[in-house]
A and B are shown apart, each in its own frame.
Chain A
Amino acid sequence: MELKKPAMAGTTESGDVMVTLRPEAAGGITIDLTSDVEVLFGDSIRATVRQVLGEFGVENARVSLVDKGALDFVIRARLQCAVCRAAEIEFDWSREDN
């Protein structure tokens, strides 16, 4: 999937994560993570980022996350939103069907 423009989703409120997604021409996925819980959950957060981007087929992008203790479902939701905004697409909910 092609990202057309930079996009953001989420907030810096407690329990949330602010995701900024920027298209890149090449170089794969780069993740910049700022989190108070990075030592404990950094690897898990990065894995979720890669998983969600993989589901959309995003191969090249820079992802910045300012994490305020977001649970996994929040990170997932914010990333899905940011990808759709960056790609300027409406989400196809049938992707969620088994």
Chain B
Amino acid sequence: MENNQLMRTSLYAGGTSPVKMIQAGFYNEDCLVYDLEDSVSAGEKDAARFLVYNAIKYQRPAGKYILIRVNGIYSKELDADLEAAVRAQPDAIRIPKVEYAEEVVRIADKMTAIEKKAGLPEGGVKIWCNIESYLGVLNARQIASASSRVVAMALGAEDFTASMSAKRTKPGWEIFYARNAVLMACREAGISAQDAVFSDINDAEGLERDLEMTRTLGFDGKTCVHPRQIDQVNACFTPSAKEIRNARRVLEALEEAARNHTGVCVLDGGMVDKPMELRARTTLAKAEAAGIKWGGEEK
């Protein structure tokens, strides 16, 4: 994950409503996505572009990872969206319905051209790819490594299931393969893996069950459809005190073994192996990114 930046939760704010855009900056989401796509009607695309550009330039919320979701790759709005979005200098743009690596390459090239023209640092604005169809899932490995700008991929379950003629259900078995395919592609490319939304905002227990799957599989974050989901999702991706304690014990045992030149490291009667070390380091990195303190040190 990029610079240990927290990407546990993403919340969309429609680019048409100033009050919703401002309010979104006060919730606890890690990533705020100003939307130019689905939440904006065809006749208001120009207005949304101006509003989002000026919001980021003059009223950027502090401490948040800022994204702009641009319009579709083959829409007539995309070029103007990129012109505005790159100049607004968010942390990343979020591209909907990516299906081929070439699409990402083309957009990355356009972004570079705009940066050169505008005298902006090249490559500063990153890319998140939304994977929302079976083609996107099948090509996820190539998409993930299409450009050095790509720092995350997110599964869009509603459109994906529509492309599959599948029924979207709360248990989510219809997206089980897609989740794993996107996740493995992200791991291979070393980028953040973002899980699909849980659409029922009134079902906190359902969200908890969905999060159990999300975290068990290994995702780094999840998109929220409503602010009320944010704290629950953040908690899911924040290591507990017990997990932090265990991770520290694993690393301490490894350090002890190294000091004593012991070939094998043993903790609580079991051998500490590489996967355990990797999990422990990941846990502590997430805890540190979340600002959790341990051992009397401020992290």
A72 to B57, CA, bound (A): 12
**A9 & B47 in contact (Cβ 8 Å cutoff):** yes
**B47 & A81 in contact (Cβ 8 Å cutoff):** yes
**Which residues does chain B contribute within 8 Å of A96, judged by CB atoms?**
53, 87, 118
**A97 & B118 in contact (Cβ 8 Å cutoff):** yes
Question: Could you say which of A78, A94, A96 has the most chain B C-beta atoms within 10 Å of its C-beta?
Answer: A96
Residue A71 contacts which of B49, B59, B84 (CB distance < 8 angstroms)?
Answer: B59
Closest chain-B Cβ to A45's Cβ sits at a distance in Å of 14
A90 to B80, CA, bound (A): 9
Residue B57 contacts which of A9, A73, A97 (CB distance < 8 angstroms)?
Answer: A73
**B117 & A74 in contact (Cβ 8 Å cutoff):** no
**A97 & B119 in contact (Cβ 8 Å cutoff):** yes
Question: Could you say which of A13, A15, A78, A93 has the most chain B C-beta atoms within 10 Å of its C-beta?
Answer: A93
Which bracket fits the contact residues of A?
Answer: 20 to 34
Chain A residues 57-92 with CB under 8 Å of chain B are 70-74, 76-78, 80-81, 84-85, 90-91
* B163 CB within 8 Å of chain A: no
**Which residues does chain B contribute within 8 Å of A91, judged by CB atoms?**
46, 49-50, 80
A85 to B57, CA, bound (A): 22
* A23 CB within 8 Å of chain B: no
Q: A16-B17, A93-B80 are in contact. Are A74 and B87 (CB under 8 A)?
A: no
Closest chain-B Cβ to A64's Cβ sits at a distance in Å of 17
**B87 & A10 in contact (Cβ 8 Å cutoff):** no
Closest chain-A Cβ to B292's Cβ sits at a distance in Å of 34
**Which residues does chain B contribute within 8 Å of A78, judged by CB atoms?**
47, 50-51
**B118 & A16 in contact (Cβ 8 Å cutoff):** no
**Which residues does chain A contribute within 8 Å of B80, judged by CB atoms?**
90-91, 93
Residue A94 contacts which of B18, B50, B118 (CB distance < 8 angstroms)?
Answer: B118
**B118 & A84 in contact (Cβ 8 Å cutoff):** no
Q: A13-B19, A15-B22, A72-B58 are in contact. Are A77 and B47 (CB under 8 A)?
A: yes
**How would residues 156 to 173 of chain B score, 1 for a CB under 8 Å from any chain A CB and 0 otherwise?**
000000000000000000
**Which residues does chain A contribute within 8 Å of B17, judged by CB atoms?**
13, 15-16
A80 to B57, CA, bound (A): 14
* B289 CB within 8 Å of chain A: no
**A85 & B46 in contact (Cβ 8 Å cutoff):** yes
**Which residues does chain A contribute within 8 Å of B78, judged by CB atoms?**
none
9 nearest A-B residue pairs (beta carbon):
A15-B19, A93-B83, A77-B50, A73-B58, A73-B54, A77-B54, A77-B51, A97-B118, A74-B18
Known: A13-B19, A81-B46. 13 other contacts (CB 8 A): A13-B18, A15-B19, A16-B17, A73-B57, A77-B50, A78-B51, A80-B50, A81-B47, A90-B80, A91-B49, A93-B84, A96-B53, A96-B87
